[in-house]
Amino acid sequence: MKLTVNGTEHEVDVEDDMPLLWVLRDELNIKGVKYGCGVAQCGACTVHIDGEAVRSCQTAAADVWGDVTTIEGLGTPDAMHAVQQAWMEHQVAQCGYCQSGQMMQAASLLALNPAPTDADIDDAMNGNLCRCGTYSRIRAAVKTAATKLQEA
């Protein structure tokens, strides 16, 4: 099957029901997407398919309906995405394990809602767990990224 990931088309020989997470990590060697719980409850495996945040652990390879973007493809070779910049500015990451999923969820939120309220952020980010508890920094970073994107 053919998958376009981060702008590059790939031909992969996998079972149709193989989770996209494993296609990305094991077949394409894209390691930014993380395995967390395997049941779409933690958000560590969040990627975009045609801009929509999805849990790659529960998305079968054959069910991918468009271009896939991982944290590696969120920015450009010349510049980080505003979400990535804000994450650094607010020093969000502690252990960092969940952060690629957090950033992908935040980027999807901001694409749909460029000026989210605290409640909007909390609602959108609710399914992304952070064992380190950096939720206040995550919210602050999302607000900063929203501002940066509006100024661009």
CATH of the domain at 6: 3.10.20.30
Last residue of a domain, one of 20, 38, 72: 72
Last residue of a domain, one of 30, 48, 72: 72
Residues β-bridged to residue 11? 2
Residue 19 located in a structural domain: yes
List, as one string, the DSSP characters of 60-107: BGGG--S-EE-GGGTS-SS---HHHHHHHHTT--SS-TTHHHHHHHHH
* Global pTM value: 0.96
Q: Are residues 89 and 32 in the same domain?
A: no
Residue 120 located in a structural domain: yes
Query: pLDDT in tens for each of the 152 residues of the chain?
Result: 999 999 999 999 999 999 999 999 999 999 999 999 999 999 999 999 999 999 999 999 999 999 999 999 999 989 999 999 999 999 999 999 999 999 999 999 999 999 999 999 999 999 999 999 999 999 999 999 999 999 98
How many structural domains comprise the chain? 2
Q: Are residues 138 and 106 in the same domain?
A: yes
Cα 16 to Cα 36: distance, rounded to the nearest angstrom: 22
